[in-house]
Amino acid sequence: RRLLGTAGAAGAAGLVAGGAGGALGYAAAGTGGPALTSVGTGAVPFHGTHQAGITTPLQACGHLIAFDLATGAGRKEAAALLRRWSAAAEAMTQGRPPAGDNQVALDAGPASLTVTFGFGRSFFARTGLTDRIPAAFQPLPAFSSDALDPRRSDGDLWAQIGADDALVAFHALRVLQKEAAGTARVRWQMNGFNRTPGATARPMTARNLMGQVDGTNNPKPADPDFAAKVFVPDQGGDEAWLNGGSYAVVRRIRMLLDDWERLPLDRQEAVIGRRKSDGAPLSGGTETTPVDLGRFNPDGSLAIPGDAHVRVAAPASNGGAAMLRRPFSYHDGYDADGTPDAGLLFVCWQADPGNGFVKVQRKLDRGDGLSRFIRHESSALFAVPGGCGKGEYVGQRLLE
Ligand code: HEM
């Protein structure tokens, strides 16, 4: 697999004609052109200890979708749905059409498609499984800056779809929705995007819609404590079903781009604590130089201001609390007054929300320089089970 935060092999070489498409079943035979580019041929394994879509590099297109179980649907129906969803996701991520395919993605390879499933707290009451709710799975507290729309928050079931091709991503979204018919109805759905692999001359950390390099100081899969920060530790008893799993916090965070873009560059950089051009910390060095929170400027001021986002959010300021941020940008058009409805579909992954998002957001809520320029508009927390093996479905250890 490619490493998180890099744009993949296509980055340096541009689009490479690939012959491997035939093996994936979606080759465009006899068209005269290259069968598939390297973007199309990327296939992320569906089976494994963890679900795909957590440490998978950011894909260019994303869909988030939450469902509520239909009246009368309980544990048995939910189990059957997760079985259907897992089979369809396995097929599509490996480049095979799912059962009853509508052929929307027929000519494309899997394009690094991932489909990741999670359960909201309300799911457990609906399925008679409240005794299996893990102790760490507490509702998110209210924050003073919340401006949440309950209709676009929470949900019994959640799926995150990512792919490097928009048709492949939409195809997966539509297939999940159709498989859910009669068992679960869509509660909310959001669309996002990131940079396309190959768009930059070399693999680089993504930028968000404020123009900042975003994702630099994420935990890295190679870090010795990565798994402890991101994945739920193995345990027995009622919580064993979540072994190898994680918790996803989802927040639709609107960016107040008109206000932000009026701010001069040096003040924008002070808000984050990093340079906008290359993401280097204001304490010096390059993008990957560790942030020095104790450094002072010659005039005696802090190099990283007291309310800079990277200072307030840093594990050092939050008793070691950490999370893996894996967002998509979104743009849903303009309000009637011309204000962009754009920002971040903030998705972060952690072993324990209480020692990840909740701790950090509490601190940000009290004194983050960035908060004047953003607005949290929806919120959800999902327990995301570990991956499944061949012949199994996601969530089987909870639902069987
Ligand atoms: C770091 C942007 C919301 C947690 C950063 C960085 C940027 C950024 C540009 C510096 C580069 C990096 O290390 O990735 C944003 C924007 C947000 C937002 C635009 C909203 C639209 C949040 C939220 C949280 C959060 C809601 C968690 C509650 C963090 C953490 C870091 C970080 C933990 C790394 C700090 C460090 O250790 O250096 N963010 N962020 N951010 N952000 Fe955010």
Question: Which atom of ligand 1 lies at the shortest distance from residue 279's CA?
Answer: 11
ipTM of the predicted assembly exceeds 0.90: yes
> pLDDT value at position 4?
40
One-character DSSP codes across 149-192: -GGGS--SEEEEEEESSHHHHHHHHHHHHHHHTTTEEEEEEEEE
Taking the C-alpha atoms of residue 382 and residue 232, their distance in angstroms, rounded to an integer, is: 13
Contacts of 54 (CB under 8 A, 6+ apart): 116, 230, 246, 324, 326, 349, 384
The residues assigned a catalytic role are 214
Residue 267, CA atoms < 13 Å, CB-side half-sphere:
9
Is 301 in contact with 294 (CB distance < 8 Å)? no
pLDDT at 70: 98
pLDDT in tens, the chain (400 residues): 343 433 333 333 322 233 333 333 333 344 555 566 689 999 999 999 999 999 999 999 999 999 999 999 999 999 999 999 999 999 999 999 999 899 999 999 999 999 999 999 999 999 999 999 999 999 999 999 999 999 999 999 999 999 999 999 999 999 999 999 999 999 999 999 999 999 999 999 999 999 999 999 999 999 999 999 999 999 999 999 999 999 999 999 999 999 999 999 999 999 999 999 999 999 999 999 999 999 999 999 999 999 999 999 999 999 999 999 999 999 999 999 999 999 999 999 999 999 999 999 999 999 899 999 999 999 999 999 999 999 999 999 999 9
Residue 310 CA to ligand 1 center (angstroms) comes to: 6
The pLDDT of residue 16: 29
Pick the residue whose CA is nearest to atom 8 on ligand 1: 214
Choose the residue to mutate in 309, 347, 372, 373 for probing ligand 1, maximizing ligand atoms within 8 Å of C-beta: 309
CA of 223 to the centre of ligand 1 (A): 19
For a mutational test of ligand 1's pocket, the pick from 146, 214, 372, i.e. the residue with the most ligand atoms closer than 8 A to its C-beta, is: 214
What residue owns the CA closest to ligand 1's atom 6? 214
Distance CA 182, CA 335 (A): 34
Q: Do 331 and 340 meet the contact criterion of CB atoms below 8 Å apart? A: yes
Q: How many angstroms separate the alpha carbon of residue 90 from the centre of ligand 1?
A: 32
Pocket test for ligand 1, best of 217, 348, 374, 379 (most atoms within 8 A of CB): 217
Q: Which atom in ligand 1 lies closest to the alpha carbon of residue 314?
A: 37
Number of H helices, E strands in the chain: 12, 11
Give residues with Cβ within 8 angstroms of 167, minimum separation 6: 104, 105, 108
Q: Among candidates 151, 271, 232, 221, which has minimal Cα distance to 1?
A: 221
Q: Going by CA atoms, what residue is nearest to atom 13 of ligand 1?
A: 217
CA 26 – CA 93 distance, rounded (Å):
12
Question: Which residue owns the Cα nearest ligand 1 atom 7?
Answer: 214
CA of 95 to the centre of ligand 1 (A): 34
Distance from residue 61's CA to the centre of ligand 1 (Å): 21
Spell out which residues line ligand 1, taking CB within 6 angstroms. 208, 210, 212, 214-217, 253, 255, 272, 274, 291, 309-310, 313-315, 325, 343-344, 346, 357, 360-361, 364, 374
Ligand 1 center from residue 24 Cα (angstroms): 38
